[in-house]
Amino acid sequence: MPDRASVRLHLTTTFKLSLLYLGLFVASVSVILWAAYRSTAGFLEQEIGETITVEVEALKDQYLRAGLPGLVEVVRARSSIPHNNSIYLLLAPNGQILAGNLSGWPDGTWHEDGTVHFKVAEYGGTEDHPATAQAVGFTLPGQFRLLVGRDMSEIDQLRDRMAASLGWILTITAALGLIGGGLTSRSALRRIEAINRTTRRIMAGDLSGRVAGVGNGDEIDRLAGNLNAMLDQIERLMNSVRQVTDSIAHDLRTPLSRLRTRIELVLLKETDDPEVYRAALQESLVEADRLLDTFKALLSIAEAESGTRRNDFRPVELADTAHLVADLYEPLAEESGLTFTAEVRGRPLVQGNDQLLSQAIANLLDNAIKYTPAGGRVSLVVDGKTANQGAAITVTDSGPGIPPEMREKVLGRFVRLDQSRNTPGNGLGLSLVAAVARLHDARLVLDDANPGLKISLILPPQAAVKRIESVAA
């Protein structure tokens, strides 16, 4: 995979983004250097141009006042000044040099404004670089030509150095940008390839594979965490499917076999007594109802675990829901010889599915009543939101309880502590409660009641809904 990753390096998003940032950086550096040049060499060129203009005007005035002899005298005087960076040349109509410090009229490219940038000599400028100059040439009355200029060697050298520096800077920047982009892309591609390897393992059937995170909390780490959470959910659902399949094959085979045997025995009996057939049909109907209840419970669990019931979330008055369920199970508790109490503290209002919350409370009460011996007690308590948690639904009984090592297992499907299956039920009651808890992002806590069992369904704080009281005017 590393070779494959390196081949695809130039196609990665990170590498393309690195090139984009590199282009923006190069453009920024170019703009900065251009601004630096304009503030230095450009300013000096402007100053030199203005100086030449002023000097040209002065020489024109001299020519008008003193004529050609006066102009020749001034040009000779200024040209003879040592270490002078000024350039002068005065030519007669026939091309004869009358005064100045140039050997001839420059051959450079002349601009429309009469300026020319030309090479004065191959050597002789600053640090023996070719000397250059910028000058203005114009024609005087009588076809005399005058050239006035300034030495541009230092400015031209500055321009060349800045151009060379710009080239080196851009080259180094591009090289470092490509190296940095390659390293960044390789690092990101390596982590993404790890995710791809994990997904390939999952597709091959190994649901235990997980994406390893670096731990720096970046977006790839968060993606890995979300993928791992998704894989945990998929693995849990797949295990549930396997467990349900095995449990259905094991737990439903017995009642189906009893149903078939009962029907077969009735058919083998040679009797015309309709009561025999009626009794057999009634027993078969009871067995069929048990099977239907099992499938109904499985369907409810599947709906709760799928998350589609979140669309039905509405504000739920837990007090009303708890009282309604308590009223239904209080006669059953009294019939079983149990003391039943229901208490609602406050008026908790939560966001959830009323039907599933009712079913969860009913299952908890049904289990408590079913497994508590006569003379025991069962209680239902609904607490409002506190500082540390949201609303809580707690069912406590004085029955045999559940051993600590079995409390996680009994939340699975078709798991029953009564291995002999003498107690009515299908082992799906607590599974549905656990599925409802997951759907509502709640915690299901199983604890000792000394004696008995205490089960609490604790909703998260964000599930609470702010109540708006209506005040009569």
Q: Does residue 230 sit in the same domain as residue 299?
A: no
Q: Does 332 map to a domain?
A: yes
Residues 47 and 169 in one domain: yes
pLDDT for position 3: 43
Asked whether residue 389 falls in the same domain as residue 420, the answer is yes
Q: Cβ of 9: how many Cβ atoms within 10 Å?
A: 14
Is 256 within the bounds of a domain? Answer: no
Cα(433)–Cα(291) distance, rounded to whole angstroms? 20
The total number of structural domains in the chain stands at 4
Contact at 8 Å (CB) between 198 and 210? Answer: yes
Looking at the structure, do residues 33 and 114 belong to the same domain, yes or no? yes
d(CA 457, CA 441): 10
- The enclosing domain of 441 has a CATH number of 3.30.565.10
Amino acid at 26: V
> How far is Cα of residue 354 from the mean position of the Cα atoms in its chain?
34
Q: Decide if 469 is inside a domain.
A: no
Residue 257 lies in a domain: no
- 225: containing domain: 207-251
Residues 80 and 126 in one domain: yes
In angstroms, the first-to-last Cα distance of the chain is: 74
Beta strands 349-352 and 339-345 are: unpaired
Q: Is residue 468 part of a domain?
A: no
CA dihedral 437, 305, 452, 342 (to 10 degrees): 50
Q: Which of 363, 354, 365 is nearest to 330 (CA)?
A: 365
Residues with Cβ within 8 Å of residue 340, at least 6 apart in sequence: 326, 329, 330, 333, 334, 369, 377, 378, 379, 380
Same domain assignment for residues 109 and 239:
no
Side chain identity at residue 125, one-letter code: G
Q: Tell whether 316 and 396 lie within a shared domain.
A: yes
Say how far apart CA 72 and CA 98 lie, in whole Å. 7
What DSSP string describes 231-278?
HHHHHHHHHHHHHHHHHHHHHTHHHHHHHHHHHHHHHHS----HHHHH
| H-run or E-run covering 447 | strand 443-448
Residue 435, in any domain of the structure: yes
- pLDDT for the residue numbered 5: 43
pLDDT by residue for the chain (473 residues), tens digit each? 444 444 456 666 767 777 787 788 778 877 887 787 777 777 777 888 888 888 888 888 888 888 888 888 888 888 888 777 888 888 898 888 898 888 888 887 888 878 888 887 655 444 445 578 888 888 888 888 888 988 888 788 877 887 788 788 878 877 887 787 777 777 777 777 788 888 888 788 777 777 777 777 777 788 888 888 888 878 777 776 776 666 666 666 767 787 888 788 777 776 777 887 788 888 888 878 777 777 776 676 766 666 666 677 888 888 899 999 999 999 999 999 999 999 988 788 888 888 888 888 988 999 899 889 999 999 999 987 765 667 889 999 998 888 888 888 777 666 666 544 455 555 677 888 888 888 888 889 999 988 899 999 988 876 666 655 433 33
Q: Are 289 and 316 contained in the same domain?
A: no
Residues 230 and 337 in one domain: no
Q: Is 113 inside a domain boundary?
A: yes
Is residue 281 domain-shared with residue 165, that is, in the same domain?
Answer: no
Structural domain contains residue 68:
yes
Instruction: Identify the CA nearest to 402 among candidates 381, 423, 417, 380.
Output: 417
Q: Are residues 301 and 400 in the same domain?
A: no
The residue type found at 357 is L
Are residues 375 and 326 part of one domain?
A: yes
